[in-house]
Each structure stands twice: as structure tokens, then as C-alpha cells.
């Protein structure tokens, strides 16, 4: 009987482990530990690359830097999420609230970064003539700062009751329960799902339409098409390629995000078990592991910068002025 308790020494007040949790905990623990480590390492490479090399100090890359920062912290938070595989929380009430609190901040910031990336690509593709004037490094830095500040304030408002009473909703030791009222749930649904996802989808649908039309114009060399686009300003091929790459990032993000919110919307009375909840949360976190892999596949500058980092060339004087973009 004691083996079924989260804390066997606390017979009367300890939570019970879910049945059959031991059958998958060790493979899952090893797999998620690897994903957590690689998520932190890969995103740290993105952070170092964009921060160190001056040639990469562009508005779009600053947005990727902010996204990499949030993804880096996701990798660290995933270590705590791993502990929930056996259905028990071992770190106490304070860490329970802080874990969820930081998770909300990072999740909100990630979603905000995706919205900013979508806006950046929309302006670059749909209004290339005024892009350099509308989107500057300073404006992007201000927007990123506002994104993180808003996420912090949102988390404080959302968890004000939980922060005041840490163990208010826990019924036994080994449980991590965070409660939100109906108003908070509606606000969370709108702030972190409906509004941003709608904005992202609408902007990228518009970008997709414009990109398709411009690709046809580029590849079609007959006079009629040339005449049709002669009075229009089209985006550069590099901008179109960047839109494709970041479009992949956004699509992967949506695929990983939607199951998480479906579980969230299902409520506490649903038939979804603990393992399924942990799975969709880990799927959401897994997106942070995929992002730098997408950069490595699509961005030559990331592969070059990683090579310079691993060969310790970044430690040499003047390495920040190295030519990364060809």
C-alpha cells in the first residue's frame, strides 16, 4: 500500500499515485530529460548567435531572439514537468505555484512573440516599400519588452488568489492544483488563445496569398505578367524565404498549441487522465525543441554561427563582426 503513495511516510495525508504509472515513467523520464536538455542547449545557441554577431542584429532576428529566450526557459521548466509523469508533485506548495506562474509568463510571451513575428512578416511581404521605416530594431525591442511585461502582469492578475494562499486548493501532499475562476478562465482563453491565434492565422493567410502571387510573378516571364506587376512593389526573395521559414515555425507552433488548449477547455470534470494531460503539456513544450531545428534546416546563418561557437571562434577579438550572411 505504501508503494502507491507519493509520500509513504505520510500515510494519512499523502496523495495516491495513479495506477500503472510506473510502467512508463522510466522511458518517459529519459526521453523528456533528453528533450529538456536539447531544448535548452539549442535555444542557447540561437541566443548566443543573434546576441553576438552584429550582422544578425536585425528586427526579425530580435524577435527570434526573444522567442529563443522563452523557449530556453521552457526547456528548464520541462525538467519539473517530468516529475509529474508518476502523478506526484514533490517540490511543495510554493514551487507548485511558481512553476505554473512562470509557465504562464513564458507561454504568454511565446504566443506574443509569435504574434509579433506574424506582424513582422505581414509588413515585410505586404508592404515591403515601407518595411524599413515601419519596422526598426528599436521599435521591435520596445514591442518585445512590452510583450514580456504584459505577460508578467497577466500572470500576476491571473494567479493573485493562488499566490496569496499557496495550498488552498490542494487536498493532500503530493498534489499541485491551481484553481481559476470563471472570469479568469475566459480571460485566459481570450488572451492566450482566441485573439492571438486569430491574428496569427489571418495575417499568415494574407501573407500566403501575397507570396503565392509574387512567386508566380517571379517564375512567369511572359510580357503580360510583367506588365501586370510593373506598377507594384514586390518583396525580395530573401523576405519570401524568411516568410516561408517563419510560416513553418508558426504552423508547428499551432499544431503543438491546440491540443494543450483543448485539454484546458475540457475542464476538471472531463475523462482525460493525468498521463494525457502531461502528454499535451509536454507536446506544447516540445515546440520549443523544434524551433531551433527549423532554423538549422532553413537558415544557413544559424549553421555557420553554430560552427563558430563550437570551434570557440566567438572568443576571438573582433569575432562579433564576422561575416555570417552571404
- Domain spanning 2-321: CATH 1.20.1070.10: yes
Tens-of-pLDDT digits for all 326 residues of the chain? 445 777 766 667 777 776 655 555 666 677 778 888 899 999 999 999 999 999 999 998 999 999 999 999 988 887 777 766 666 777 777 788 888 888 889 988 988 998 998 899 889 888 888 888 899 999 999 999 999 999 999 888 887 776 666 656 666 777 777 766 677 777 777 888 888 888 888 888 888 788 777 666 666 654 454 444 444 445 556 666 666 776 777 788 778 877 777 766 665 434 344 555 667 777 777 888 888 888 777 788 888 999 999 998 888 888 888 888 87
CA distance 293 to 247: 14
CA distance 306 to 313: 10
- Torsion, Cα of 187, 192, 197, 200 (10° steps): 120
**CA distances (Å), 68 to each of 64, 94, 106, 154, 206, in order?**
6, 27, 11, 21, 26
DSSP letters spanning 258-307: HHHHHHHHH-TTSS--HHHHHHHHHHHHHHHHHHHHHHHHH-HHHHHHHH
CA distance 91 to 73: 18
Output the pTM of the full model.
0.81
Amino acid at each position: 500500500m505504501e508503494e502507491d503513495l507519493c509520500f509513504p511516510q505520510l500515510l494519512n495525508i499523502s496523495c495516491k499515485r495513479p495506477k500503472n504509472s510506473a510502467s512508463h515513467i522510466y522511458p518517459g523520464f529519459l526521453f523528456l530529460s533528453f528533450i529538456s536538455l536539447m531544448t535548452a542547449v539549442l535555444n542557447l545557441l540561437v541566443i548566443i548567435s543573434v546576441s553576438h554577431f552584429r550582422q544578425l542584429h536585425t528586427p526579425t532576428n530580435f524577435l527570434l531572439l526573444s522567442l529563443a529566450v522563452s523557449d530556453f526557459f521552457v526547456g528548464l521548466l520541462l525538467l519539473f514537468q517530468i516529475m509529474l509523469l508518476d502523478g506526484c508533485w514533490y517540490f511543495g506548495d510554493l514551487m507548485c505555484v511558481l512553476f505554473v506562474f512562470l509557465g504562464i509568463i513564458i507561454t504568454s510571451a511565446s504566443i506574443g512573440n509569435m504574434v509579433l513575428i506574424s506582424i513582422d512578416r505581414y509588413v515585410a511581404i505586404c508592404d515591403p516599400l515601407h518595411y524599413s521605416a515601419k519596422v526598426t530594431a528599436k521599435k521591435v525591442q520596445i514591442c518585445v519588452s512590452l510583450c514580456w511585461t504584459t505577460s508578467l502582469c497577466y500572470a500576476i492578475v491571473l494567479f493573485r488568489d493562488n499566490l496569496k494562499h499557496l495550498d488552498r486548493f490542494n487536498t493532500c501532499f503530493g498534489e499541485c492544483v491551481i484553481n481559476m475562476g470563471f472570469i479568469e478562465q475566459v480571460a485566459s482563453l481570450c488572451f492566450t488563445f482566441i485573439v492571438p491565434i486569430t491574428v496569427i492565422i489571418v495575417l499568415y493567410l494574407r501573407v500566403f496569398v501575397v507570396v503565392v502571387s509574387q512567386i508566380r510573378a517571379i517564375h512567369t516571364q511572359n510580357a503580360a505578367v510583367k506588365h501586370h506587376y510593373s506598377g507594384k512593389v514586390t518583396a525580395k526573395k530573401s523576405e519570401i524565404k524568411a516568410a516561408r521559414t517563419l510560416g513553418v515555425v508558426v504552423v508547428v507552433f499551432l499544431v503543438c498549441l491546440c491540443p494543450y488548449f483543448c485539454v484546458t477547455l475540457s475542464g476538471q470534470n472531463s475523462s482525460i487522465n493525468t498521463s494525457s494531460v502531461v502528454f499535451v503539456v509536454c507536446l506544447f513544450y516540445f515546440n520549443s525543441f523544434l524551433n531551433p531545428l527549423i532554423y538549422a534546416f532553413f537558415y544557413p546563418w544559424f549553421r555557420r554561427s553554430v560552427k563558430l561557437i563550437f570551434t570557440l571562434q566567438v572568443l576571438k577579438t573582433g569575432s562579433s563582426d564576422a561575416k555570417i550572411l552571404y
